[in-house]
Chain A
Amino acid sequence: MPKAKLPRKSTNIDMTAMCDVAFLLLTFFMLATKFKPEEPVVVKTPSSISDFPLPDEDILLLTVDSKGRIFFSVDNKVKRKALIENVNSERNLNLTDAEMNNFAIGASLGIQFSQLKSYLNLSADQQAEIGKTASGIPVDSTVLSVNNELAQWVKSARNTNPKLRICIKADGEASYPNIKKIISTLEGWKIFKFNLITNLKAIPAGTAAYEQKNSMAKAE
């Protein structure tokens, strides 16, 4: 029986299609990406069933690590410039224009007013290094106290951008009195509505929230 001769096929594959796909995906990721903001400390937030997403802009973020150190950040660069100018004039920090620009482009801040001037003269890498060992922004239980520097920051931030939404991102291990001080500072400025950043967890079955969600899904 004669052998059926299979025609030899070339092993050369046309890569064009694959290249197209690769670059299509690349374009998607490049456009959709939003870089993770640099964080001074690692914070492990507790979980909740709340699924309200964090707004995109106008956020005042207070990061609290497990030792209770507070870091302060505001998102918009233009607003940051206005904010530092406001703080500078109210607290007489004698910051130069270059130092204030440095603040505007900087990341989260966890430093006292007394050290702020020297801190802002450092490069970004040195600032990050200091941020790891910084004592955090001092806070007190009343807004009127001079030592309550967080109150000053929050007040100036709200003056420069009244739409700010205040978010607290705290570590689950942070002790309650530290959180309490932040909450009473906010209450002192008549801010009674704020957001706590949490991880998402599933709603336990058989509870009121679970039934509510299920009945909503059925109605749709």
Chain B
Amino acid sequence: MAEMDTSGGGHKKGPGVKKGKKLSTRVDLTPMVDLGFLLITFFMFTTTLAKPKTMEINMPYKDDLLKPEEKNKLKASVALTVLLSKNHRVYYYEGIGDDPNQAPDLKVTSFKAKDGIRDAIIAKKKMVDGMKRAGTLGPKDETTVLIKPDTTSTYSDLVNMLDEMNINDVKVYAIIDISDIEQGFIQATEAASAGQ
């Protein structure tokens, strides 16, 4: 392909005509291949073939004009409240903790695969399913997880927690501000575990 036919058609020149020296038309393509691969390497490294993945979140509709009686009331029996705190620690308790006289039973865990928050969520889902079958809860009641990150938690905690929602197929969840009372619960639990 890189060579060209230079034999000149086949007719012979006369005896007095001087023949020009035949030059080879073969071109060494090696440098061109080198250049080609150099550019390929450049484009391969600068290109972004893998598009970044995103996680879509929907925050609950919030409007200051919404009257309290129009808001959905959450049943304490379907709720699991998860508090995110410093050093990627996770505190959770059953219910919504609205009873001021009785402090909820706070448990400490983390995002680890075994005995982590995932198992707590799975257990809660099983419990809600059992209650639905028993007829204590209506068919529309769903396991609800309330995520309350405190000021010392990081963004990765939040994303991990939202990811657990996707992993465990929890359909109803919300990100809510932590209350001072719950902040107190965490401190009390921390103090208790430090005292042991």
Residues of A whose CB lies within 8 Å of any CB of B are: 14-16, 18-19, 22-23, 25-26, 29-30, 32-36, 46-54, 64, 167, 169-180, 183, 186-187, 192-200, 203-204, 207-210, 212
Contacts and interface: CB of A to CB of B under 8 A. Distances in A.
Interface of B: 1-2, 28-30, 32-33, 36-37, 39-40, 43-44, 46-49, 51-62, 84, 113, 118, 122, 125, 149-160, 162-163, 166-169, 175, 177
Given A176-B153, A176-B157, A198 B169 contact: no
A174 B155 contact: yes
Contacts of B154: 172-176
Nearest to A193: B58
Nearest to B31: A15
B155 to A, nearest CB: 4
22 contacts: A14-B1, A19-B32, A25-B36, A29-B47, A35-B46, A48-B53, A48-B159, A50-B166, A52-B54, A52-B55, A54-B52, A176-B151, A176-B152, A176-B158, A180-B149, A192-B59, A197-B53, A198-B53, A203-B167, A204-B113, A204-B118, A207-B167
Contact of B62 (A35, A170, A178, A192): A192
B160 A46 contact: yes
B36 A19 contact: yes
Contacts of A48: 53, 55, 159-160, 162-163, 166
A49 B166 CA distance: 8
Contacts of B56: 50, 52, 193-196
Contacts of B32: 15, 19
A179 B33 contact: no
B158 A22 contact: no
Among B39, B44, B54, B55, max chain A CB count under 10 A is at: B54
Contact of A51 (B1, B53, B175): B53
Contacts of A22: 33, 36-37, 40
Given A48-B163, A194-B57, A196-B57, A53 B51 contact: yes
Contacts of B168: 207-209
B155 A179 contact: yes
A16 B33 CA distance: 9
Contacts of B46: 33, 35-36
Nearest to A199: B53
Contacts of A196: 54-57, 159, 162
B11 to A, nearest CB: 30
B58 A192 contact: yes
A169 to B, nearest CB: 8
Contacts of A187: 59, 62
A142 B154 CA distance: 21
A30 B157 CA distance: 40
B149 A176 contact: yes
Given A15-B33, A48-B163, A172-B154, 20 more contacts: A15-B28, A15-B32, A18-B29, A19-B36, A22-B36, A48-B53, A52-B55, A52-B56, A172-B159, A175-B151, A178-B155, A179-B155, A192-B58, A192-B60, A195-B55, A195-B57, A204-B167, A207-B168, A208-B122, A209-B168
Given A172-B159, A192-B60, A208-B168, A26 B53 contact: no
B155 A176 contact: yes
A146 B38 CA distance: 53
